[in-house]
Amino acid sequence: MFQAVSYEGTRSEQHTAVLGQLSALIRDEPSAIANLANAAALLNVFMTDTNWVGFYLYDGKELVLGPFQGLPACIRIPLGRGVCGTSAAEKRTMVVDDVHAFPGHIACDAASNSEIVVPIIKNGELYGVLDIDSPIKNRFDDEDRVFLEKAVSLLTEQLEATIPL
């Protein structure tokens, strides 16, 4: 059973605690959707000053909305379009301090001002992206990037052992 805890200590110590929780949540669970849903919920509880945490999954043509926490969102995102589509196409993490200055930004939630997107690569192929939005400009930094890339790495290890979507 999961129990909410107060995250104390340095950011690094907090990140270590959350990664431990994520590992415990997804360990031995064969459903990719269940694991992504729990990961979105955990990150949403942990990360302050965010208004959307979730996943877009690649269907072979475009990104399609997956498990998330937040307001209803855009359902389909073409590769190369917006922050999520660009991160997916380039297979690299993107930290955007001001989404309104990002060429081709897709505004799913008008309250979002900054964003971080981490691509999920399963068996060498694009699987999807982790997308987190904030109403605060410059919300995400390099420490967030490293932490979220580690979270995605944990998920990817489990996804490689799970049943297909």
Q: What would the mean pLDDT of 56-65 be, rounded to a whole number?
A: 97
Is 165's pLDDT higher than 70? no
Q: Where are the beta strands (DSSP E) in the chain?
A: 52-58, 62-70, 76-78, 94-96, 114-122, 125-134
Using one digit for the tens of pLDDT, what is the confidence trace for 8-54?
A: 889 999 999 999 999 999 998 989 999 999 999 999 999 999 999 99
Q: How confident is the model at residue 63 (pLDDT cuts 50, 70, 90)?
A: very high
Characterise 9 by phi-psi region: left (phi > 0), alpha (psi -120 to 50), beta (else): left
Per-residue tokens: 53: 């945490």
User: Phi/psi at 128 (nearest 5 deg)?
Assistant: 165, -160
Q: Is 66 exposed, middle or buried (0-12, 13-18, 19+ CB in 10 A)?
A: buried
pTM: 0.93
Strand partners, 151: none
The tokens describing 97, both together, are: 């301090």
Task: Read off the pLDDT of each residue in 63-83 and give the average, rounded to a whole number.
Answer: 96
3-state secondary structure of 128: strand
Report the DSSP beta bridge partners of residue 69: 53
